[in-house]
A and B are shown apart, each in its own frame.
Chain A
Amino acid sequence: MPDTAYRRPLASKALGIGVATGAYALSYGAIGVASGLSIWQTQTLSLLMFTGASQFAMVGIIGSGGGLLAAVLTAWLLGARNSVYALSMAPLHRVRGLRRLLAAQLTIDETTAMALGHPEPPMAARYAFWSTGVSVFVLWNIGTLLGAVGAAALGDPGALGLDAAIPAALLALLWPRLVDRSMWAVALVAAGLAIALTPVLRPGLPVLAAALVALVASALMGRERP
């Protein structure tokens, strides 16, 4: 068996993941423009921020009048998980310099899952990471552009139901994380707290307050299972 035989199945898997994420980039691009960002601002987030949940959160909060500071803080908090992904990917990318800077940008849910899913040999894990990263990056950005240009051409976001597309997209990102009772509990308490605080805090702040639910839940779980 040639030592590059792992490549073909990984490449086709990477392409499949890229196509799927490209499809949801269509909705992200449309929502970005409907939220009041320009096509270029929506696109810049896909190029530079390049982490879906943070992007959806940011345009969603801006669109609902939550203020730019709250939008940026929420995007950062959602992006914090990428630090942990990067920590687990670091042994894979022992290289320094430009390649590490590129690897950092591509360190997201999909690339980490692919690399962790194909640990042996390390060459295959690296290949899984890079092929998925390039595939998702390219198709995510193409999808964003098509969605943004399409929404800009179509007009009235309310008549198109695009405001309802935002919570649906966020729910679809949340859904696979609700793996057990404790995750459901955290989600329900966080949602309830945000709703309860909506009448008393400026838009954008109730979501930030919900981050405290994660910290409290973590402390409680740490006490239960040391």
Chain B
Amino acid sequence: MMWVAVIAGSLGCYLEKLAGYLLPHSVLERTAVRRIAGLLPVALLAALVAVETFAAGQQLVFDARAAGLGAAVVALLLRAPFLVVVLAAAVTAAAVRMLGWAP
């Protein structure tokens, strides 16, 4: 099933790219199309950040991932490159767990 998801996800994302080359250019003149294209990633990424930090199944938890996210925010405010942001979060979460401050 995992392979089905990998292939279906990939195929859909490719067809989305291809569709842009096949549709008439005038679609781009509709401001709603451009607006939704800009807003969708913001809403989805924000929701993902929230659940990937605070959800464990259907439960809300406050664990080492929250400390990791805090470190990521600090790194982003300091304009750190992507890899540093991710490493800051991982190292912080691992340290908080090792110290036994949070699960």
Contacts and interface: CB of A to CB of B under 8 A. Distances in A.
B11 to A, nearest CB: 8
A48 B39 CA distance: 25
Interface residues of A, number: 102
Contacts of B53: 164, 167
A84 B9 contact: no
Nearest to B2: A41
A210 B44 contact: yes
Nearest to A65: B57
B65 A167 contact: yes
Given A86-B21, A104-B18, A186-B43, A191 B49 contact: yes
A172 B82 CA distance: 7
Contacts of A45: 6, 9-10
Interface string B8-23: 1111111011111101
Interface in A20-39: 20, 23-24, 26-27, 36-38
Contacts of B86: 24, 27, 165, 168-169, 172
A186 B9 CA distance: 25
| Chain B contact residues: helix, strand, loop or mixed | helix
Contacts of A161: 64, 68, 89-95, 97
Contact of A190 (B8, B42, B89): B42
Residue among A68, A89, A177, A214 with the highest chain B CB neighbour number at 10 A: A214
A222 B31 contact: yes
Contacts of B8: 72
Cβ-closest 8 pairs across A and B:
A86-B20, A164-B68, A168-B89, A210-B47, A164-B93, A161-B93, A161-B90, A161-B94
Interface of B: 1-14, 16-21, 23, 25, 27-28, 31-60, 64-65, 67-69, 71-73, 76, 81-83, 85-95, 97-98
